[in-house]
Amino acid sequence: MSQSYPDLIDDLNAAIVRLRAGAPGPMKAFGSLAREALAPGQLDVKTKELLAIGIAIATRCDGCIGFHVKAAIRAGASREEVLETVSMAIYMGAGPSMIYAAETLRAFDELAPSGASVA
């Protein structure tokens, strides 16, 4: 990503305006989903935005990172809290990869013909 996040957010907001005009029903439903998901409950908005940052990292969504970092800052998140969130995303990126690697080998062992090389 070479574009600055403020520019990326501006560009995406312009594109989203066009998307809302072209697909108003789904976009209205998405907006309702976002409002419900972000409503304070057992978790406050800041915590929810930090979770969204971790998920944005895991899904490699530049725009999501920009939108949710901006919202987390607005909700009072500190740089240190974002760093802890990033640390968890890094940790979870490695852990699930290891689990899925083990699952891949298990799938191979279960699916390979009996004459295939199994270590």
pLDDT over 70 at 101, yes or no: yes
pTM for this structure? Answer: 0.82
For residue 35, the surrounding DSSP H or E stretch is helix 24-38
Query: Is 72 exposed, middle or buried (CB count within 10 Å of its CB: 0-12, 13-18, 19+)?
Result: buried
Cα(51)–Cα(89) distance, integer angstroms: 9
Distance CA 52, CA 86 (A): 11
Q: Give the tokens for residue 109.
A: 């062992």
* Longest alpha-carbon distance in the chain: 59
Tell me the per-residue pLDDT of 9-63, one tens digit each, with 9 for 90 and over: 999 999 999 999 999 999 999 999 999 999 999 999 999 999 999 999 998 899 9
Which fold is adopted by the domain 5-111?
Answer: AhpD-like (1.20.1290)
- Going from N- to C-terminal start, the domains of the chain cover 5-111
DSSP, residue by residue, 98-112: HHHHHHHHHHHHHHS
